[in-house]
Amino acid sequence: MTDDANAPWLIVGLGNPGPDYAANRHNVGFMVVDLLAERIGGKFKRAQKAQAQVVEGRMGPPGPANRRVILAKPMSYMNLSGGPVTVLRDFYKVPTARIVAVHDELDIDYGVLRVKIGGGDNGHNGLKSMTKAMGAEYHRVRFGIGRPPGRMQVADFVLKDFSSTERKELDYFVDRAADSVECLVAEGLERAQSAYNS
139 is catalytic: no
Which residues neighbour 108 within 8 Å (Cβ) at sequence distance 6 or greater?
Answer: 114, 142, 143, 144, 145, 146
Neighbours of 142 (CB within 10 A): 25
Cα–Cα nearest to 74, from 63, 59, 85: 85
Q: Which residue among 26, 103, 124, 139 is the active-site one?
A: 26
Cα–Cα nearest to 40, from 58, 53, 54, 52: 58
Single-letter residue type at 71: L
Max CA separation in the chain (angstroms): 52
Q: Which residues of 143-162 are buried (b: 16+ CB within 10 A; e: fewer)?
A: bbbbebeeeeeeeebbbeeb
Residues pairing with 45 in the sheet: 54
What is the C-alpha separation between 133 and 131, in angstroms, rounded? 5
Tell me phi and psi for residue 68, to 5 degrees: -75, 130
Give the residue numbers annotated as catalytic, written as ranges. Answer: 26
